[in-house]
A and B are shown apart, each in its own frame.
Chain A
């Protein structure tokens, strides 16, 4: 276990305390994620529960407007749904999908990258060319394809339940390639180092050499990529939901909220679209700032 004092003594922590943008980004991100996780406890309303929606309170503007009403701090939508609650719950969905798709891409990418880099030859060629093909198709296109195909295969009553899983799958399908490439390149470097040869002399099985010797030495660039990809995954999810092939209106993610709000942009109900957009920006920008800092902090040439 890494103890707290070890973290405080590390170079990474030092660089963190020196970078104002990283600290601000970390605080903002922590707040966004915490409020999203504890949304059921702090949100004034459960936006999924039709019984809690009040048609008389629909289309209320934010609280600072003369017509605003407590507790609808950020106003309500056309069905009387509290925007703040919808945003907190929506962030929860976006963050969960982001984390799940990064985790799945990592699992697939790290394993395939290690195998391709360690064994080389035909396995390497097949895996990497397959990755090249996937990368040459735009992520959104793959995601659209996967989500339409998979959704058609699911029975109608499962379509809503399965849509988050479909999104994770779609984002993973193009997401793993980057990790696989990074790990493969690093594995090829590490494989020829003498500590790996020493392990091979002891007849350590290939799987254990890959996991216990090589993998830990490839994690630095992977951490950076994973952070930046977490932001990308949230954006991809939002785009898909905005296009109507992501999360359904019954379980709105930030992208779904923006799609719904977009319809009312010109009828003067600006708050229905603006606040979800702001939340999405805040989330992605803070993740990216953190990722940029991490990349610089872990790059020995920039120290």
Chain B
């Protein structure tokens, strides 16, 4: 059973200067291809993770999936949920500071979905549900009277999770929910999210730039580079047998607790600008295995024993 099927999804942003500036400086229009022809499926009740460096288009995928941005091309389809109509996606955002309205009390933030979607009828029922949600995410019911600035980053992320749960979603998009947090707090939030997944039967699309975070969350991992998926495999397969040179590079950069001083290959070069991506395989300027054809021809996605990978050298 799949919860979400994404096919050939693309999103382009118009980043041209204003009309007047273009005319005066004789510049052409400029487009940024943030997401480029990606396809994946998310299993119902499972977790697919998207991994990649900053700027590779992860948040854009999240916003496309939740419907905050319309896709430029391609299609995404949710399976029917428990109530029969298409699954609705809720989102947990990257920045715990910008994701809560600073002027609202926490109880009103969490009650908003209940009121907007009319999930509870009376005031008493709303209050009761808000307190229950606060307890579920490990906060105290009395915290509802406070404002967001009275909480730490980790606690704010708990509030965000409570708000997302309030709308009784079956599908959650988690956009780097822990990247702004301390390592010790990260583990707590990740454990909370895993517990909630088990208890509530949620489906996750989980986004991170950190493979080690993703390892404990996901059934399947898709690696993104400059708007494209370059490799997709089951979690254990990906860690045991990475095929794409970029995946190998990402795995090498994970800090090794057992052997912190091992020699690591430095990630060669910078991420190229998505405004002006390299021709052929966009990874070729940094790739240790690059061949002549890599700078000419875009590698197609192929399936090799359960792994989908796009590379000429595999």
Question: What residues of chain A have their CB less than 8 Å away from a CB belonging to chain B?
Answer: 193-195, 197-204, 213, 216-217
A201–B68 touching, CB < 8 Å: yes
Report the bound CA distance from A213 to B104 in whole Å.
Answer: 8
B98–A201 touching, CB < 8 Å: no
A192 to chain B, nearest CB (A): 9
When distances are taken between beta carbons in the complex, the residues of chain B under 8 Å from A195 are 98-101
B133 to chain A, nearest CB (A): 15
Q: A204-B112, A204-B116 are in contact. Are A198 and B103 (CB under 8 A)?
A: no
When distances are taken between beta carbons in the complex, the residues of chain B under 8 Å from A198 are 91, 93, 99, 160, 163
Residue of B nearest to A216 (CB): B103
Partner of B66, one of A201, A204, A213: A201
Consensus secondary structure, chain A interface: helix
Consensus secondary structure, chain B interface: loop
Q: Which B residues from 54 to 77 make CB contacts under 8 A with A?
A: 63, 66-68
Report the bound CA distance from A278 to B98 in whole Å.
Answer: 49
Report the bound CA distance from A204 to B113 in whole Å.
Answer: 9
When distances are taken between beta carbons in the complex, the residues of chain B under 8 Å from A193 are 98-99
Report the bound CA distance from A162 to B113 in whole Å.
Answer: 48
When distances are taken between beta carbons in the complex, the residues of chain B under 8 Å from A204 are 112, 116
Residue of B nearest to A198 (CB): B99
- Would you list 11 pairs from A and B whose C-beta atoms are within 8 A, ordered by A residue? A194-B94, A197-B91, A198-B91, A198-B93, A198-B99, A198-B160, A198-B163, A201-B66, A202-B117, A213-B101, A216-B101
When distances are taken between beta carbons in the complex, the residues of chain A under 8 Å from B101 are 195, 213, 216-217
A223 to chain B, nearest CB (A): 14
Report the bound CA distance from A195 to B103 in whole Å.
Answer: 11
Residue of A nearest to B93 (CB): A194
Report the bound CA distance from A193 to B94 in whole Å.
Answer: 11
When distances are taken between beta carbons in the complex, the residues of chain A under 8 Å from B160 are 198
Residue of B nearest to A208 (CB): B116
Assess whether B102 is interfacial by the CB under 8 Å rule.
Answer: yes
A197–B68 touching, CB < 8 Å: yes
Residue of B nearest to A199 (CB): B112
Residue of A nearest to B96 (CB): A194
When distances are taken between beta carbons in the complex, the residues of chain B under 8 Å from A213 are 101, 104
Residue of B nearest to A214 (CB): B101
Report the bound CA distance from A252 to B66 in whole Å.
Answer: 62
B190 to chain A, nearest CB (A): 20
Interface bits B161-204 vs A (CB < 8 Å: 1, else 0): 00100010000000000000000000000000000000000000
Report the bound CA distance from A245 to B113 in whole Å.
Answer: 54
Q: Which B residues from 68 to 97 make CB contacts under 8 A with A?
A: 68, 89-91, 93-95
Report the bound CA distance from A216 to B67 in whole Å.
Answer: 26
When distances are taken between beta carbons in the complex, the residues of chain B under 8 Å from A201 are 66-68, 89-91
Report the bound CA distance from A203 to B66 in whole Å.
Answer: 12
Question: Which 7 pairs show the lowest CB-CB distances between chains A and B?
Answer: A194-B99, A194-B93, A216-B103, A195-B101, A193-B98, A194-B98, A202-B116
